[in-house]
């Protein structure tokens, strides 16, 4: 019987407000603006051999604000721009549903992470979720991982206005993705 390959941790990144500027609904390719620090931060995760996986809620599809094809275009453009700067996203997962839909994939529900774990051999309880909304932190905690809140995008407002309401604090609150990567690399070394 062959030896089972060990599961590995991953870094799950929210898209809007974490890697690129928060635009509300990113409903046109021209509105994609990747943060200047994002490629270098992701490249450091790549060098550490940590899978980098984007997980994003995209209910604008169900709301008919933009077509599903736009999400694929945005992810291709992101990959191209990041690649040109020496960084790589290993996979993209998105939920197209609204809160009213009965799905298991809309963050903070674990469906996207569970799918990624199956498809990429990941150990969720050793993984990190980085995002600008408390839902990203809840997502991490729901699978036993570490939740990190960045203060870019909606993060600063979420933190300053709502932290007293949170049932559990983020494992880390950091300025941006670059600082999140510093923290992750310290924890995994």
Active site residue 90: no
Check 16, 132, 136, 176 and give the catalytic one. 16
Helix axes 68-84, 38-47, angle to 10 degrees: 70
pLDDT tens, residue by residue, 109-126: 999 999 999 999 999 999
Binning pLDDT at 50, 70 and 90, where does residue 3 land?
very low
Residue 189 has pLDDT above 90, yes or no: no
Active site residue 102: no
Check 14, 132, 136, 176 and give the catalytic one. 14
The DSSP-derived string for 42-64 is HHHHHHTT--EEEEEE-TTTTTT
pTM score, whole prediction? 0.95
Instruction: Region of 153 please: left (phi>0), alpha (psi -120 to 50) or beta.
Output: left
């Amino acid at each position: 019987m062959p030896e089972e390959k060990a599961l590995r941790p991953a870094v799950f990144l929210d898209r809007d407000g974490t890697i690129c500027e928060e635009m509300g609904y990113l409903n046109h390719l021209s509105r994609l603006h990747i943060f200047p620090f994002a490629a270098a931060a992701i490249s450091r995760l790549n060098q550490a051999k940590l899978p980098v996986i984007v997980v994003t809620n995209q209910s604008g599809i169900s709301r008919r604000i933009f077509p599903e094809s736009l999400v694929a275009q945005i992810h291709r453009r992101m990959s191209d721009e990041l690649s040109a700067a020496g960084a790589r996203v290993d996979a993209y997962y998105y939920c197209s549903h609204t809160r009213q839909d009965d799905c298991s994939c809309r963050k903070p529900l674990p469906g996207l992470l569970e799918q990624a774990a199956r498809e990429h051999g990941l150990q969720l309880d050793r993984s990190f979720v980085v995002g600008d909304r408390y839902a990203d932190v809840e997502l991490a905690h729901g699978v036993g991982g570490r939740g990190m809140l960045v203060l870019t995008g909606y993060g600063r407002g979420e933190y300053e206005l709502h932290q007293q309401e949170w049932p559990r604090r983020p494992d880390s609150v950091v300025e941006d993705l670059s600082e999140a990567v510093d923290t992750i690399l310290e924890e995994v070394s």
